[in-house]
A and B are shown apart, each in its own frame.
Chain A
Amino acid sequence: MAVQVRVPTILRTYTGGAKLVEGTGDTVAALFLDLDSRYDGLRGRLVTGDDGTELHRFVNIYINDEDVRFLGGLDAKLGDGDEVTILPAVAGGSADARV
């Protein structure tokens, strides 16, 4: 299950500056373990709780633009060719606060 992963600016210190990395795994949890084997410490920024079983409160993960919290969270299934996007949660929009 090879997937493309988009990494936000603040986490690129873990990927040697790379914006787009490749990973494998049947689930989001498995993907994070795979990424951590090459990008040491990345997983620790994305998950919290005992044994890292919870997604960090201020981290949003999307599979093909859909929020994984509505797809089973870290157990959300991945398929070959899926695109995974990692984004920090920020104050934004709703037709408001344009800068």
Chain B
Amino acid sequence: MRFDSLADSVGRTPLVGLPRLSPSPEVRLWAKLEQDNPTGSIKDRAALWMIADGEKRGVLTPGATVLEPTSGNTGISLAMVCRQRGYRLVCVMPENTSIERRQLLQMWGAEIRYSPAAGGSNEAVAVAKRLAAENPDWVMLYQYGNPANAQAHYETTGPEILDDLPNITHFVAGLGTTGTLMGTGRFLRERVPGISIVAAEPRYGELVYGLRNIDEGFVPELYDPAVLTSRYSVGPREALRRTRELVQEEGIFAGISTGAILHAAMGLAERAVRDGRPAEIALIVCDGGWKYLSTGAYAGTLEEAEAALEGQLWA
């Protein structure tokens, strides 16, 4: 396959069977390998679509500054696209973000502004919104509310999965910005009667939920529960166990959020076996495990790994 540039090679990732984790020949699991995208995560799709949409709408002009609250994959993806197209990128992230995260973002060309550690991601979003108000010429793409994020998946992830798995019965993905589930889910629902669209939501340790008040909560503007069939909360123990099973049984070295998704998918597979129904279950592998090695997720016992994750946003 040949492409004009790296950004042009986003998407068209492989869908691979998981023969050792699938419970029977009638109930099968399929993994969409999003770590095969140019910067190693599913976020390349949303980044490319949000930038292209900003250009189309005329809000992104040559030399523009792009602003985004992110310390993770979205920042890396945006940095790659921005550098290629001549935009400056400013990422807002909590000040206690790991050193490897900062180095990765800076390497790809992003500038970093810090938000107070105590407020977590909620606070990074708030600081980014404040910076956007102070710098009216900056462009905040805002992945939590930008329809182009979901549209990327409606136009690419959904059609790719349906092409590769026409008899799909279930689609399982992680719930963060909700872009993957909203876009892919809408596409598949329009074309596959009776399909189940299932969300796996990471359940963090207590520290991460340290709001002062329930009314300070946050639901991404993109989220529409009508797209989903069900939504499961997956704790760190189960996510870690499945992340390790995925690499041990199938040779796929994935990040921890993928373990949470696999856990929900395997629950659906067990239920299909119990009910005597065939199932073709597609699940998303969000990224590889490399960026999470320093979390301790892959070393020692599950108990040690779970303790190491306490207080971290691991997905």
Contact = CB atoms under 8 A, between A and B. Distances in A.
Contact of B70 (A56, A65, A97): A97
B290 interface: no
A94 B120 contact: no
A8 B73 contact: no
A2 interface: no
A49 interface: no
B204 interface: yes
A93 B125 CA distance: 13
A15 interface: no
A52 B96 CA distance: 39
B135 to A, nearest CB: 21
Contacts of B73: 95-96
Contacts of A87: 203, 209, 233
Interface string A81-97: 00001011111111111
* Tier of interface size on chain B: 35 or more
B217 interface: yes
B176 A96 contact: yes
Interface stretch (B158-166, B272-280, B307-315): B307-315
Given A92-B176, A95-B72, A70 B230 contact: yes
Interface in B56-104: 69-74, 93-94, 96-98, 101
Nearest to A96: B72
Interface string B165-209: 000000000111111100000000000000000010111101011
Contact of A91 (B96, B97, B125): B125
Given A9-B209, A89-B219, 9 more contacts: A59-B214, A66-B230, A90-B209, A90-B218, A91-B121, A91-B125, A93-B314, A96-B70, A96-B73
5 contacts: A58-B215, A59-B214, A95-B286, A98-B295, A99-B117
Interface of A: 8-11, 45, 56-60, 62, 65-67, 69-71, 85, 87-99
- Nearest first, the 9 A-B pairs at minimum CB distance are A94-B176, A58-B217, A67-B231, A93-B315, A96-B72, A93-B176, A91-B121, A95-B286, A89-B217
